[in-house]
Structure formats: structure tokens, C-alpha cells
Structure 1
Amino acid sequence: MKIIIAGAGEVGFHLAKLLSYESQEITLIDTNKEILLYAETHLDIRVVKGDSTSIAILKESRVNTCDLFIAVTSSETTNITVCVLAKQLGAKRTIARISNTEFIHHKEELGFTKFGIDELISPEALAASEIELSLRQTSFRESFEFEGGALSMASLTLSRSALFVGKTVKQAAEILPEIHFVPIAIKRYGTQFTIIPRGDTVFERGDDVVFITSEGGAEELCRLTGKSNREINNVMILGGSKIGFKTARDLSSKKFNVKLLEENKERAFDIADDLPEVLVIHSDGRNVDLLDEEHISEMDAFIAVTKNSETNIMSCLVAKSKGVKKTIALVENMDYFELSHSIGIDTLVNKKLLAANNIFRYIRKGDVVAMTKLSNLNAELLEFEVNSTSLVCNKLIKDIDFPRAAIIGGVIRNGVGIIALGSFKIQEGDLVVVCCLLQSIKRVEQLFL
């Protein structure tokens, strides 16, 4: 697939990096010579220096032959303009990064597709949504919802108190009369290897396990693993960035008690004017004495979303030491993920990864509805729509020639999530959630073409 990315900032470069690993034909456009030189020498991609709104630059990038054009510069106006130009010059599909989420909410009404923009994404809005989901599922380290929660992904670490530690997957399933969750990936403590579990796979203490749950499954998981899904009411947010603002706005509208700490005085006053339901405090949130004065120990959750990953991590550790049960840190450096989990931060959010997940489904073959990469695991979760020509259509799961490095986690039929076992028959129109190790993705895609 030929893909052109306009904008070599943090999101654009990360996308180019991930897509180059997929052996896609990538062209990266930017005006910054140094960033392009670094990208060209470190990634297997083509770079073009220039303004992406220039028709000559777009033609030099061979936009007329590209399958996917992604505009992720820091300017919303530029992204919209470039996508319109790219479409007119022959790009098959276009995606624009925007910051005004009203555009997404009114996409059909405004008719973006009519003038050349197929998809809109907002990394900041995606991050705010991820944070809100984490607050609803406090006992899980990582969460993701398919079709509004018909099926959900939940990730947690097994402690000694988990009832099925030492049991096989098959034995664990027998603990409950009905199955509302299924394990789809396991990473053993102290290793970097991801296991796709089978019936004879044994759960061990310290395992990082990813589950797919249907309705009621999250509560069962909490009960069996000794976790508690604590209700969140009082939330403290460090940082009045776009993500901090969107998170505060969304949470306060849902009756959370929100305090927001912002160091920049002018920004703090602006947020206070825009969000009267939020208590905005002009201060340096790194000051431990000030956090004590603002009763951080009474908070149910602490969310650090400044522009500095190190500040976010350290602030969350301070919050943990003060007894805050749920901590969420915005982290830009992907290398921090595993380190931060090991030292006790509950949830990490990376907007580059969220944006990449949102875009990646357009390069996967088959009718991919949704997709997410599993943090710290070399696996992806894909949601496929089954059509009449799919090889899985009208077959029992046990009769499908499925690769060992992949597993069906569940099926959504008519809006209802089902934990589907071997005797389940897949039908046209079903939405099937599959967990794949990277080496099995191509084989799985072929089953859903």
C-alpha cells in the first residue's frame, strides 16, 4: 500500500515508523529538513521537503498513486486543506487530524466526505476518551470497548489472590456456570514473550493477562482476581493542555468533582472561564506541599497530562504515595511504558499510539471496524465484519483453519456481545474480535476478505 503522511511531528513520525515496519511504501512530507534527515536515515521511507499545501510538492510525492493520504501537521486548517487537495489529485482515501471535536460530532451534517475528507481523527479527543474509560474500569490497567461496550478488552496483572492462579484456562472456565470472559493474550512475569492461551495454558502469578468480556464479565473478573472496581467521584487533573481541558470538561459534565492544576496563569483563567463547574487552581502541581493543601489524599483518581512525560510519571508516583487508588499518566516516550507499570502507575496513555490504532485499521485487509495494539505485547486486537465471501462465514469456530498465533475473543451479533466457543457458528454480518500476534495477521486477514 502506498501511503503519504503530511507532517513529521510526533504523531506523523510515529505513524511513519510503525507503518514502515509493516513494509508499506511510505512518503513523509515536512518543511523541517533536520526531522526529515533523521527519518530518512532511521526509517525505510521516502521523504519530501516542502509545504504539503503546495500542489507541486503533492505531485512530487506522487499523490495520484497513493492509497492513503494522512495529514497530521500541527495545523488543523492545513490538514483539512491538504486532504481536499490530495483527494482532487487522485488519492484514494484521506484522513485529517483535527483539534476541534465539533467537526467529528457533525461530520455527516457538514459533509466532509463530499469535499474529499474520508475520516477525521483527534489524538487529544482519543486520549480524553481513553482516560474516561479507565476511570470507569478502575481495576484494569488497560481497557478498550467494541461497539459501545458490547464486548470489552480488559488487561490486568494476576496477584496471589486470583482464584484461577495455578489452574488451566479450561479449569478456570469451570469455576463459573456461565462464561462472560475469555483470556486472549498472556505475558509471563519477567519475559517479553506473548502467549495466545489455549485450554491447557496455566495461569501463573504475575501474568499480565488480556481478557475479552461480555456484559457482566468485568464484575466476574474483579471477583475472581481479588480486584475491586472502586467508584470514582473526586478527580485531580495536573495540566491544562488540550487533553487536560477536554478531560475536565467531559468529566465535569458527568458529575465528577474535578480539580485542575495549571501552572500558566493566563491559561488557568481561560479554563476557569470556560469550565465553571471545574475548580481551577493556578499553581505548580509538582509542589508536594501544595498537593497536600489541595487534599490529594482525598482524591479517588489523579490524572497527569502535562507536556512532560517525566513530570507526569513522578506526579503520579507522588499521588500513589498519598493513597490515591487510580493514577493515569500521559506518556509520550513509548520506552517508559513497561517501566511505569513496574513501579506502580495504573494506566498510561499515549496519544501517538491511540492515533496510530485509529488509522491502522485502514491499512488492514478485510472489513476492519476497529483495531487496537496491546501495550507491551506484540499483538493486535482487530474487529472484522463478516461478509458472505469471508472464509469464516457459516462455519463453526472449531472448523476454521485458524493460526495458532491468533484467537477469536468474541462475536457481536445484532449489537449483543457473545463469548464464542468452538461450537459457535459465525454468520454474515457478525462482528468478530480477533487477537493476533504480529506474525499471524496476514493469515487472519485472508479469512475475512
Structure 2
Amino acid sequence: MRVIIVGAGEVGTNIADSLEEDHDVVVIDRDSDRVESITYDLDVLAIQGDGTSIETLQRAGLEEAEMVIASTDGDETNIVVCGAAKTVGDPFTIARVKKTNLLRTWEGATNAFGVDFMVCTDLHTAQTVVDIAGLPDARDVDSFADGLVRMAEFEIDPESPVAGETIAEADRFESLTFAAILRDDDIVVPKGNTVIQAHDAVVVIGSVESVREFAGGLTPTPTLEQADEIVIVGGSEIGYQAARLFEAEGLEPRLLERDHERARELAERLPETLVLESDATDIDFLVREHVDDSDIVVAALDSDEKNLLVSLLAKRIGVERTLGIVEAGEYVDLFETVGIDVAINPRVVTAEEITRFTREQRTENLAMLEHDRAEVLEIEVDRDSLLFGNRIRNVTSELPDGVVIGAVTRGEELITPRGETVLELGDHVVVFVDTDVLDEVSAAL
């Protein structure tokens, strides 16, 4: 299908990169340098122009487009793009916004703004923070099958109990599947005798309880339920939403905000959060307020450099785990190397969320791992699928290497996949797939 993406920043570029193989993609941006860059980097048509202009959209082939994705940095611009697209045709429209009040307005009114689907960057980033904070040492977390199945990626520390163990030795959990090991630039589909090495990234799929137990066995770091102290540094919208979501989990975080008026506003809006008015870069204050006793510190200030500084200070005074918001995608690996345990890029998580809605209809859910090196798909079994009526061992023998069936749900029942498990019509199957074989696997399943 033809997909028009308005905005060639980090979000738009990531989406275009994910879609270029399977779709006719057109990218619009006002910046000539961005247009030139994406023209050379990707196999897409890039057009310089104003995406809110009907003429520009028509030049991009709006009449033939089945989807329009507005991914600029301006909320109002993205809404106008979707509205303009609806005046000419009836494409499926997706708008990226930062303001949660726009999301609430859209949710409360049918077809508001001419937007068919809206992704709120700040809210989705805050949810990612809470999901990752809930599992010690997790680098990525996602849910499938209406929350029955959890996928998580963990980096194995040299001191971890599973470092040096085989998969068979590490497999001590009732409903957990070791889906993959990401080792340097390789993706290893693990077998029973595969040895887990230090610094491997291990991807597991299973019940929420099993994944949580596995996480708890990797490290003495407390799970979210065990965490006594969570400190959020920065009363940004992401910081506020993270605190609200932690409250919803029954926790009582502390939030540090320097601005007096913002601190007062947050104190009124967060009844279970202790809001402290202070500069989080004041190490004496951090020690005096016993931030060093915290289990988790979330750095959600308004600049990457400040978030890095806060994370380093937190580590220096003894904080167990730090999560930091990093707006610049090119800094993510660097920040994790020098101090932040997990760096979360709002643009990347937004691009992944939008990409979910561009897959074939039978793909119920999607998670992308390690910069698109692998994907985890949730597929509902229909009569045309290789899965229908087949045993798992027969299915996997007909698929290429790089595929692991990680979980099966039938109604509200979670089924741990085994070779003799027969898949039925309507089952939801969670599958790990190496992107090198994604097209072949998607066609078969």
C-alpha cells in the first residue's frame, strides 16, 4: 500500500525504514537537508514541502494513499495534516502528539480532528519507564495477548547466576520460553545445550509471573513490587505521567522539581507522590534526602545532558538502578555505556508504537528489538495459516532458522508451547522472528 509520512525527523525516518520493503512509502518534510538525507539512505520517495498543504499531499499521491502518518514535532501540525488528508480521500490517519490533553480529547470524541489513531509520545514513554522499572535489569519490555504474555530482554551481568549456565540449566520456570540470545551482532536461537554468556542479551517470553521470577533471579535488585523508594527527577510531562502510573501500581514515589509553580501544581495533581522542590544536581541535597537509599531513579529533565548528570550522580551516591530519558537517538548507546542503566528514547518508542498499526491485520501486536534486528509478533490463528491444526514441532520444521514460538493463549488460558502442542483456530501465538526471515515467516503464518 501507499503510505505518506509527514515529517522526516527521527520518528518519521524510523517508520519509513520499517516500511520501505513492503510498502510504497512517500516522505514529506520542509527541510531540504532531511529530504536529501532520507533520499540517499532509504528506498523511498522524499518530497520537500509543507505537509499541511493539500497541493503537497496530492503531489505525494494522496488519492492513492491508504495511510497517512503525521510525525512532525508539532502536535497541531500533525492534527492539521490528518484533517487535510481526510478532505481529499479516506486514508487511515495516524497523528503523533506530545500533549496528553489532545489525546484525552481525541479519545472522548468519535473521529475527532480527522485522526483515526493517536499516539501520545509522553504518555507512551512514561508507560515504557514503568514497564522497564518493573523488571530488574530489563532493557526492553512488552505485553501481548491482553496482558497474559510478557516479553522482556535482559542483559546478563558477569555476576548473574545464569551466566555460564546452559539454557536447560537456566530453564527453571513453569511457563517461560528462552526465545533468543542477542550476542554481539548475532542472533542465536537457543537450544538446551546453548551456554548463556556474560554480556549476552537474553529474550524471554512467558507469563507475567514467570518473567518476573526470572528477572528476580538475575540480580538482587528489587522488582517494582519490592521497591521501597522510587525517585523521579524532573516534573516534565513524562515525569508527571510516570509518577501517576507508579501511583496506579500502588506505589508512593518521590518527585524532584526545581520550579516552584510546577512543583506546587504537581503536588496537587499527585496525591500519593511526595513532591520536593529542589535542584537535583545538588549532591548534598540528594544525600540529605536519602536518595542514595532509592531502588530506582528516573531522570526526566528537559535535557539529555542533565539526565546523564543526574544518573551519574545517583550512581555515585549508591542508587541501585537508573533510567534516563534521552531525546537524541544517537546518544542512547553512549549514555548507557557511561552511566545510565537504561536510556529510553521517546522518538524510538513512538515510532515502534506507530509501526504496529502498519502491519497486516492478522498481526495483533508487535515489538521491535535491538534496532529492528528482530521482532516479536502476536498472530491470531486463522484457517489460512500454517499454524492452524498443526503441531508446533511440525510448524517450526517448515519455517526457516531464526523463528521461535514463545507463547500461546487460548481464550484467557496461557499455554506453554511444546513440540506436541496443537494450535487451534483463534489461538493467539507470540512468535520471535529474526528480521532477515520476517517476510517469509509473515507470509506463512
1:53–1:335 distance in 2 versus 1, CA, 3 Å = closer
Counterpart of 2:28?
29
Q: CA deviation at 1:386?
A: 1.5
Of residues 387, 390, 411, the one that matches 2:385 is 390
Which stretch of structure 1 is more off in the superposition, 34-43 or 287-296?
A: 34-43
User: Residue 273 and residue 216 in structure 1: after superposition, are their counterparts in 2 closer, same or farther (change >3 A)?
Assistant: closer
Q: Give 2:323's aligned residue.
A: 328
Structure 1 equivalent of residue 189 of structure 2: 196
Number of the residue aligned with 1:85: 84
Q: Is the 8 A contact 2:372 2:435 kept in 1?
A: no
What's 1:111 paired with?
110
Are positions 1:432 and 2:425 aligned together?
A: no
| Aligned equivalent of 2:294 | 299
- Contact residue 330 and residue 350 of structure 1 kept, 8 A: yes
Q: Is the 8 A contact 1:131 1:349 kept in 2?
A: yes
Which amino acid letter does the alignment assign opposite residue 416 of structure 1?
E
Among 228, 235, 238, the alignment partner of 1:233 is 228
Moved more, 199-208 or 297-306: 199-208
1:281-312 Cα offsets, whole Å, 9 max, x none, are 44432232332233211322110122322332
| Equivalence for 2:417 | 420
RMSD: 2.9
Q: Quick check: 1:6 aligned with 2:6?
A: yes
Q: 1:287 to 1:46 in 2, by over 3 A?
A: farther
Q: Return the letter of the residue paired with 1:4.
A: I
Give the distance between the partners of 2:374 and 2:315, measured in 1 at CA. Answer: 30
- Deviation sequence 1:327-351 (CA, Å, 0-9, x none): 1111233344444444453322121
Q: Displacement, 1:84?
A: 3.2
- 1:366–1:445 contact (8 Å) kept in structure 2: no
Structure 1 residue 399 displacement after superposition? 0.6
Cα offset for 1:396? Answer: 0.6
- Which segment is superposed worse, 428-437 or 72-81? 72-81
**C-alpha contact (below 8 Å) 2:145/2:378 kept by paired residues:** no
| SS of structure 2 residue aligned to 1:206 | coil
Q: Deviations over 1:321-377 (max 9, x none)?
A: 222122111123334444444445332212122112112223333511111111367
Work out the CA distance in 1 between the residues paired with 2:247 and 2:400. Answer: 46
CA contact (8 A) 2:69 2:94 kept: yes
Cα distance change of structure 1 residues 144 and 334 upon mapping to structure 2, 3 Å threshold? same
2:63 aligned residue: 64
Q: Secondary structure at the match of 1:354?
A: helix
Compute the displacement of 1:94 (Å). 1.5
Report if aligned partners of 2:381, 2:429 keep a CA contact under 8 Å in 1.
yes
Number of residues of Structure 1 aligned to a counterpart in Structure 2:
441
Q: Which residue pairs with 2:72 in the alignment?
A: 73
TM-score with structure 1 setting the length: 0.87
Partner SS state of residue 239, structure 2: helix
Q: Which residue of the partner structure matches residue 166 of structure 2?
A: 168
Question: d(CA) in 2 for partners of 1:341 and 1:167?
Answer: 26
Amino acid at match of 1:371: L
Q: Contact 2:72 / 2:78 at 8 angstroms: preserved in 1?
A: yes
Q: Take 1:139 and 1:277, find their aligned partners in 2: how far apart are those partners?
A: 26
Deviation of 1:160 after TM superposition, in Å, equals 5.2
